[in-house]
Amino acid sequence: MVRSVKPQRLLPRVPRGLVPSGLVSVALLTTACGPKTEPDLTARLLFTATGTYDSRADEKVRLGAGRRRAVWQRNPPLPGRTVTVEYNSEARPAIWAVTVQAPEALKAGLLKENPASRAVQTPGGPAQLFMTGRLRDVLLRPVPGGVQLLTRGYATQYDSQVLPAFRPAD
Q: What is the pLDDT of residues 10-20, one digit of tens each?
A: 555 655 554 44
In the chain, the number of structural domains is 1
Q: Is the pLDDT of residue 31 over 60?
A: no
> Can you tell me whether residue 38 is helix, strand or coil?
coil
Q: Is the pLDDT of residue 148 over 50?
A: yes
In a domain, 49, yes or no: yes
How many other CB atoms sit within 10 Å of the CB of residue 6? 5
Give the mean pLDDT of 56-68. 95
Its pTM surpasses 0.95: no
Where would I find the beta strands (DSSP E) of the chain? Answer: 59-64, 67-72, 82-88, 96-101, 117-122, 125-130, 138-143, 146-151
In a domain, 67, yes or no: yes
| Mean of the per-residue pLDDT values of the chain | 86
Q: 6 or 47: which carries more pLDDT confidence?
A: 47
Separation between Cα atoms, residue 92 and residue 115, nearest integer Å: 25
In a domain, 4, yes or no: no
| Nearest partner of 110 among 43, 165, 163, judged by Cα | 43
Give the mean pLDDT of 74-82. 96
Q: Which domain holds residue 145?
A: 41-161
In a domain, 36, yes or no: no
In a domain, 7, yes or no: no
Q: Is the pLDDT of residue 29 over 90?
A: no
Separation between Cα atoms, residue 46 and residue 77, nearest integer Å: 11
Strand partners, 150: 97, 139
In a domain, 135, yes or no: yes
Q: Is the pLDDT of residue 25 over 50?
A: no
pLDDT band at 94 (very low <50, low <70, confident <90, very high): very high
In a domain, 168, yes or no: no
pLDDT for 27:
44
In a domain, 15, yes or no: no
